[in-house]
């Protein structure tokens, strides 16, 4: 939640070195453009120029801020910070937008996260004569920082008052936060802090950067430094100094970003979402790449957990939220089938609060595209405290969840910018399947030849996804014709059940249509009462070549709802003629083994939701009320 950017570049004429051809504002606005997916309730920037802070902020999307800057420009500067907000404390108004100013307007602060003890701090500051103009916890943090800064300066005991003030302030804050501050009297530095909220440093030549993630500075450098928990970083054009909250020197970990700026662009598609749907063959292919030997032996070298320990696992718990949790539910069918290890899938935010049974023989598999979802992070931490082994399946290098897990299996979907997850979902299923097969290999549940056959089928999946993408005209036409639908139901069985729930989630979040996914067998236990004349129902039908009973049962379910007036839209396997008689519309997907079918059956549902939302005129990349990375609990 919230995107944060900071920049310091070489000042004009310093040491006779030419300045950069981009100013602070260029860098900050470009970073905000790339980070806008993290929140778009308001945006704001502050620069230090001519010995004072100049700031502009505006509610609504970044474009509103750009319009304001066109009317009321900021002076050229070599240091700046910027923020794009997902509202927590206080509505999405101009006053609540960041930056917040303090110390008589000489200090500007931006923040991601929630300061849990803000009410108590606010009381304290009010009693000392401070006043507040917003409803935010951020303004309280700014006031505390400004107050501390002024006290340090008055005492004259420090050469780095902003860094020291940040340390002292962070010692008093509770909750999750990334903070970035600049002060007019220290015009060469941005000081930042993080606790349980993301922050990355970008290293340049004669300039340095800060971002919520690397897309905040990907146009300028691909050298990045991961910060640890409870660290403070002070960047100038030439230096990066890291300490803990008590001033002790600390280290970050440098890494190379293997995305380029173009990978984060739309590639000619009208939206990131459409691009990302079309990226899926590559996302699955890249996630499979280099993870098995020619004889089918899986070589997950990055799983640094001792294989002997992995062999002792007697229970797996998959922790995730939203779409990632549906990927986990798909994976459960495969993992239990291949490894014979009981596998539960639990929403991260429910797990921690129910006193779960977890011990050293439990393997926690967290699934998170962003690697920053606070609910999942907290659940992983809790499980580690109970002694469990933790593996993260994650798409974002250097993010917090993999860093805090015992091991990580990265999905190689590339940057996912659209708020609604698509390619990360297919890559997560792929990675979870690799993990399941690896455990089966280790424990000897499967012969090497069997694993090799499944991997061969997985390797054919990207081409099959491509085939669906190349033939998406029919599903798009149907989606457009349904732009006025009030409610759509989705049914599935077995692995088709989480696919149905994912199809419903995509439609809810993109097209704002009521949609529910049900296990088809559950219908007659209640939901069938929803069926009335003309009710659209999308049914994910399993392969007729798989377990016969599954196919036959769902065909009966289709008949039951049709008899009650439902308009049935069926996703079925090529050659399944039987379903035709019961469907208004049939969309065929290529033949594939039952367990791999979600990698195909999800794709038409994504296209359906995206096209329907587009037909309604909605922004599919930035649906209302949502943000890409949910870094609050």
What are the catalytic residues?
2, 628
Nearer to ligand F6R, 136 or 376 (CB): 376
397 binds ligand F6R, rule: CB under 6 A: no
| 483 three-class SS | coil
Please count the CA atoms within 13 angstroms of the CA of 160 that sit on its side-chain side: 17
Q: Are strands 190-195 and 253-256 parallel, antiparallel or unpaired?
A: unpaired
Q: What whole-number distance in Å separates Cα of residue 31 and Cα of residue 55?
A: 17
Nearest approach in angstroms of CB 610 to ligand F6R is 11
- The phi and psi torsions of 465 (rounded to 5 degrees) equal -65, -40
**Applying CB under 6 A, which part among 77-85, 210-218, 316-324, 474-482 lies near ligand F6R?**
316-324
Among the candidate windows 162-170, 300-308, 321-329, 536-544, which touches ligand F6R by CB under 6 A?
A: 321-329
Q: Quick check: 400 binds ligand F6R (CB under 6 A)?
A: no
Minimum CB separation from ligand F6R for residue 375, in Å? 8
Q: Which residues contact 597 (CB under 8 A, 6 or more apart)?
A: 495, 496, 499, 542, 543, 573, 589
The burial of 90, by beta-carbon neighbours within 10 Å (0-12 exposed, 13-18 middle, 19 or more buried), is given as middle
Site membership for ligand F6R, residue 369 (CB under 6 A): yes
Write down the least CB distance from residue 509 to ligand F6R, Å: 6
Nearest distance from C-beta of residue 344 to ligand F6R, angstroms = 18
280 interacts with ligand F6R by CB under 6 A: no
For ligand F6R, which stretch binds (CB under 6 A), given 228-236, 318-326, 353-361, 597-605? 318-326
Contact 8, 217 (CB under 8 A): no
- The one segment of 119-127, 221-229, 366-374, 609-617 that binds ligand F6R by CB under 6 A: 366-374
The distance of closest approach from Cβ of residue 422 to ligand F6R in the complex, given in angstroms and rounded to an integer, is 8
Residue 240 or 505 having the CB closest to ligand F6R: 505
Burial of 351 (0-12, 13-18, 19+ CB in 10 A): buried
What's the closest the beta carbon of residue 250 comes to ligand F6R, in angstroms?
A: 27
Binding to ligand F6R in span 7-36, by CB under 6 A: none
Closest among 511, 520, 523, 525 to 539, alpha carbons compared: 520
Nearest of 181, 155, 156, 184 to residue 167 by alpha carbon: 181
149 vs 497 by CB, closer to ligand F6R: 497
Q: Does 321 bind ligand F6R (CB under 6 A)?
A: yes
State which of residues 59, 197, 373, 592 lies at the interface with ligand F6R (CB under 6 A). Answer: 373
User: What length is written for the chain?
Assistant: 633
User: By C-beta, is 322 or 356 nearer to ligand F6R?
Assistant: 322
| Residue whose CB is less far from ligand F6R, 68 or 627 | 627
Q: Is 248 exposed, middle or buried (0-12, 13-18, 19+ CB in 10 A)?
A: exposed
Confirm or reject binding of residue 376 to ligand F6R (CB under 6 A). yes
Residues 205-264 that bind ligand F6R (CB under 6 A): none
Q: Please, what is the minimum distance in Å from the beta carbon of residue 376 to ligand F6R? A: 5
Q: Which of 110, 227, 420, 597 binds ligand F6R (CB under 6 A)?
A: 420
Mask for 491-510, x = binds ligand F6R (CB under 6 A): --------------x---x-
Q: Minimum distance between the CB of residue 532 and ligand F6R, rounded to whole angstroms?
A: 29
Residue 216 neighbours by CB under 8 Å, 6+ apart:
3, 4, 5, 31, 32, 34, 35, 200, 202, 209, 210
Nearer CB in complex with ligand F6R: 263/347: 347
State how far the Cα of 115 lies from the Cα of 382, in Å rounded to an integer: 21
Q: Mapping DSSP to helix (H, G, I), strand (E, B) and coil, where does residue 353 land?
A: helix
Q: Say how far apart CA 192 and CA 110 lie, in whole Å.
A: 9
Which listed residue (180, 317, 379, 630) binds ligand F6R by CB under 6 A? 630
Q: Which of 280, 370, 535, 557 binds ligand F6R (CB under 6 A)?
A: 370
276 Rama class: left (phi>0) / alpha (psi -120 to 50) / beta: alpha
Cβ 39 vs Cβ 627: under 8 Å: yes
CB of 195 to ligand F6R, least distance (A): 19
- Chosen residue from 368, 397, 461, 472 binding ligand F6R by CB under 6 A: 368
Which of residues 362, 421, 472, 568 is near ligand F6R by CB under 6 A?
421
Q: How far is CA 485 from CA 480, 482, 504, 520, 617, in A?
A: 10, 5, 13, 21, 14
Q: Smallest distance, Å, CB 481 to ligand F6R?
A: 24
Separation CA 228–CA 194 (nearest Å): 8
C-alpha–C-alpha distance, residues 565 and 563, integer Å: 6
Sign of CA dihedral 517, 523, 529, 535: positive
322 binds ligand F6R (CB under 6 A): yes
Measured from the CB atom, is 397 or 421 closer to ligand F6R? 421
Q: Which residues inside 500-559 make contact with ligand F6R, applying CB under 6 A?
A: 505, 509
Q: Does 324 bind ligand F6R (CB under 6 A)?
A: yes
Hey, what are 478's tokens? 């149907």
| Closest CB to ligand F6R among residues 321, 610 | 321
Nearer residue to ligand F6R within complex by CB, 329 or 368:
368
Classify 576 as helix, strand or coil: coil
**CB-hemisphere CA count at 13 Å for 118?**
22
> For residues 1 and 36, what is the distance between their CA atoms, to the nearest angstrom?
10
Applying CB under 6 A, the span of 26-34, 137-145, 370-378, 585-593 interacting with ligand F6R comes to 370-378
- Give the DSSP H/E element, type plus range, for residue 254: strand 253-256
Please tell me whether residue 411 binds ligand F6R under the rule CB under 6 A.
no
323 touches ligand F6R by CB under 6 A? yes
**CA-CA distance, 254 to 430, in Å (whole number)?**
28
Distance of CA 127 to the CA centre of its chain: 40
CB contact at 8 A, 319 and 365: yes
Positions touching ligand F6R (CB under 6 A) are: 321-324, 368-370, 373, 376, 420-421, 505, 509, 629-630
């Amino acid at each position: 939640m919230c995107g944060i950017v900071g920049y310091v570049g070489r000042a004009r004429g310093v040491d006779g070195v030419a300045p950069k051809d981009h100013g602070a504002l260029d860098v900050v606005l470009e970073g905000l453009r790339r980070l806008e997916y993290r929140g778009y309730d308001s945006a704001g920037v502050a620069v230090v120029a001519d010995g004072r802070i100049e700031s502009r902020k505006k509610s609504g999307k970044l474009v509103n801020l750009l319009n304001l800057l066109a009317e009321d420009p900021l002076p050229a500067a070599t240091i700046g910070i910027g923020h794009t907000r997902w509202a927590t404390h206080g509505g999405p108004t101009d006053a609540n937008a960041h930056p917040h100013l303090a110390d008589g307007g000489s200090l500007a602060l931006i923040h991601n996260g929630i300061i849990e003890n803000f009410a108590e701090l606010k009381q304290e500051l009010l009693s000392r004569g401070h006043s507040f103009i917003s409803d935010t916890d951020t303004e309280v943090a700014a006031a505390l920082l400004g107050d501390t800064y002024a006290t340090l300066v008055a005492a004259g005991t420090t050469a780095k008052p902003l860094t020291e003030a940040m340390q002292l302030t962070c010692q008093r804050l509770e909750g999750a936060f990334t903070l970035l501050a600049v002060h007019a009297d220290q015009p060469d530095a941005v000081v930042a802090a993080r606790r349980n909220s993301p922050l990355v440093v970008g290293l340049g030549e004669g300039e340095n950067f800060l971002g919520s993630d690397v897309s905040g500075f990907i146009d300028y450098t691909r050298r990045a430094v991961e910060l640890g928990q409870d660290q403070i970083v002070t960047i100038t054009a030439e230096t990066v100094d890291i300490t803990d909250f008590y001033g002790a020197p600390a280290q970050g970990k440098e890494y190379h970003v293997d995305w380029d700026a173009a990978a984060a662009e739309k590639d000619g598609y009208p939206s990131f979402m459409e691009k990302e749907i079309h990226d899926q063959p590559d996302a699955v292919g890249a996630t499979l790449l280099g993870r098995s030997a020619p004889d089918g032996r899986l070589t997950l070298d990055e799983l640094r957990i001792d294989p002997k320990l992995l062999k002792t696992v007697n229970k797996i718990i998959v922790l995730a939220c939203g779409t990632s949790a549906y990927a986990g539910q798909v994976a459960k069918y495969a993992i239990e089938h291949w490894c014979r290890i009981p596998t539960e899938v639990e929403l991260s935010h429910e797990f921690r609060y129910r006193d779960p049974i977890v011990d050293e023989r439990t393997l926690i598999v967290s699934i998170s595209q962003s690697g920053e979802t606070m609910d999942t992070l907290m659940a992983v931490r809790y499980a580690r405290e109970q002694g469990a082994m933790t593996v993260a399946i994650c798409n974002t290098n250097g993010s917090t969840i993999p860093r805090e897990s015992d091991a990580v299996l990265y999905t190689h979907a590339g940057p996912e910018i659209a708020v609604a997850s698509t390619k990360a979902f297919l890559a997560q299923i792929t990675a979870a399947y690799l993990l399941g097969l690896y455990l089966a290999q280790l424990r000897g549940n499967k012969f090497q030849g069997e694993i090799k056959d499944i991997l061969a089928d997985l390797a054919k999946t990207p081409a099959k996804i491509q085939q669906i993408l190349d033939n998406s005209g029919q599903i798009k036409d149907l989606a457009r014709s349904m732009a006025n639908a009030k409610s759509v139901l989705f049914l599935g069985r077995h692995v088709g059940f989480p696919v149905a729930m994912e199809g419903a989630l995509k439609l809810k979040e993109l097209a704002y249509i009521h949609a529910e996914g049900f296990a088809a067998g559950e219908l007659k236990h209640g939901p069938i009462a929803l069926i009335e004349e003309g009710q659209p129902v999308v049914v994910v039908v399993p392969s007729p070549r798989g377990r016969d009973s599954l196919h036959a049962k769902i065909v009966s379910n289709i008949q039951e709802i049709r008899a009650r007036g439902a308009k049935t839209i069926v996703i079925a396997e090529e050659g399944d003629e039987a379903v035709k008689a019961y469907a208004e519309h049939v969309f065929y997907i290529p033949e594939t083994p039952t367990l791999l079918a979600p990698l195909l059956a999800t794709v038409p549902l994504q296209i359906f939701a995206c096209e329907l939302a587009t037909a309604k005129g909605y922004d599919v990349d930035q649906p209302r009320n949502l943000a890409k990375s949910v870094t609050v609990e």
